[in-house]
Amino acid sequence: MAKHKAGFVNIVGNPNVGKSTLMNAFVGEKLSIITSKAQTTRHRILGIVNGDDFQMILSDTPGIIKPAYELQSSMMDFVKSAFEDADVLIYMVEIGEKALKDESFFEKIKNSTMPVLLLLNKIDISEQNVLEEQVQYWQEQLPRAEIHPISALQNFNVKEVFERIIELLPESPPYYPKEQLTDRPERFFVNETIREKILQHYKKEIPYAVEIETEEFIEDEEIIRMRSVIMVERDSQKGIIIGHKGNALKRVGVEARKDLEKFFDKQVHIELYVKVNKNWRSNPNQLRRFGYNP
């Protein structure tokens, strides 16, 4: 039998290029929330794909940005760590994009010693001649990288890239138990599902001022009962989240419940309420409590 392979595959790139979509496509589960807004992903999230003779440990990271407040600095620390412990680095760009907005990260990719796969994503919305020109552009920018055009959304070339990554993994015993899918506890996925609905339904700065905490998660045979707090920074935001006659919040609850029932494959009851936690995004103690490391 072939020797067992295992390793860390870290996905980095600008916001909104499709990193979380790819990770979910590889894992076959919606581990990472996806929206059309930047800063949807706040943490480094592991997704583990197990085969008989391999274990691929993917990590999805927040998009690379210049931090403007403590939460964002912590988000970028997650990205930095992703450069340090990768066996294979996936640098994702989307069609039409030219180099990373933060040049120091681009230098890091250039100077890294691990194999780099440059995935040119969203080719479903590109013309052939644009695609060819882009491949050439990236080959000049990063001569050491292997370039693969893909569509993470439409599953084009995704399987081929997956096979290629397995080839590149080092020989190693598994790092995690073979039945494990992620390093995150169940409550994390509850929080993220709620946050996805908020990103989808509220405007402007509201989603960025929100953090979720699931206080109760009780599973019995028939049903999982959850209670989650939606934390905002100011009173005015609380009113907006709840909405006229509570309808806006109700919609978040209904949609989150549907997704969570799919995710846990069980009936779900979820209770949501809103609390003001003044300026939590700039408060190191609060950030630590929510799993960031300022």
CA distance 294 to 282: 9
Q: For residue 34, state whether it binds ligand GDP (rule: CB under 6 A).
A: yes
Number of Cβ within a 10 Å radius of residue 95: 18
| Piece in contact with ligand GDP (CB under 6 A), picked from 121-129, 159-167, 224-232, 243-251 | 121-129
124 binds, among Mg ion, K ion, ligand GDP, none (CB under 5 to 8 A by kind): ligand GDP
Distance of closest approach, residue 19 Cβ to ligand GDP, in angstroms: 4
Residue 8 or 54 with smaller CB distance to Mg ion: 8
Distance of closest approach, residue 12 Cβ to K ion, in angstroms: 14
Which tokens hold the place of 56?
Answer: 């691929």
| Piece in contact with ligand GDP (CB under 6 A), picked from 29-37, 72-80, 83-91, 221-229 | 29-37
Q: For residue 10, state whether it binds Mg ion (rule: CB under 5 A).
A: no
| Piece in contact with Mg ion (CB under 5 A), picked from 19-27, 100-108, 225-233, 256-264 | 19-27
Distance of closest approach, residue 157 Cβ to K ion, in angstroms: 21
Q: For residue 218, state whether it binds ligand GDP (rule: CB under 6 A).
A: no
Q: For residue 15, state whether it binds ligand GDP (rule: CB under 6 A).
A: yes
* Binding test (CB under 6 A) with ligand GDP, winner from 26, 30, 31, 40: 40
Q: Are 51 and 66 in contact (CB under 8 A)?
A: no
CA distance 290 to 195: 13
Within residues 150-209, the interface with ligand GDP by CB under 6 A covers: 151-154
CA distance 202 to 26: 29
Within residues 6-65, the interface with K ion by CB under 5 A covers: 16, 40
Which tokens hold the place of 162?
Answer: 């997956």
Which tokens hold the place of 294?
Answer: 């300022």
* Binding test (CB under 6 A) with ligand GDP, winner from 10, 41, 59, 286: 41
* Binding test (CB under 5 A) with Mg ion, winner from 14, 20, 24, 126: 20
Q: How far is the CA of 258 from the CAs of 28, 59, 214, 253, 263, in angstroms?
A: 18, 26, 17, 9, 9
Comparing every residue's Cβ against ligand GDP, the nearest one is 18
- Name residue 198's amino acid: I
Q: How far is the CA of 168 from the CAs of 5, 118, 163, 243, 275, in angstroms?
A: 9, 14, 9, 51, 47
Which tokens hold the place of 257?
Answer: 């419940």
Which tokens hold the place of 254?
Answer: 């209904």
* Binding test (CB under 6 A) with ligand GDP, winner from 9, 10, 19, 31: 19
CA distance 92 to 14: 8
Phi, psi torsion values for 56, nearest 5 degrees: -105, 120
Which tokens hold the place of 9?
Answer: 């595959």
Q: Are 233 and 279 in contact (CB under 8 A)?
A: yes
Q: Are 9 and 167 in contact (CB under 8 A)?
A: no
18 binds, among K ion, Mg ion, ligand GDP, none (CB under 5 to 8 A by kind): ligand GDP
Q: For residue 21, state whether it binds Mg ion (rule: CB under 5 A).
A: no
Contacts with ligand GDP by CB under 6 A lie at 15-21, 34-36, 40-41, 63, 121-122, 124-125, 151-154
Contacts with Mg ion by CB under 5 A lie at 19-20, 41
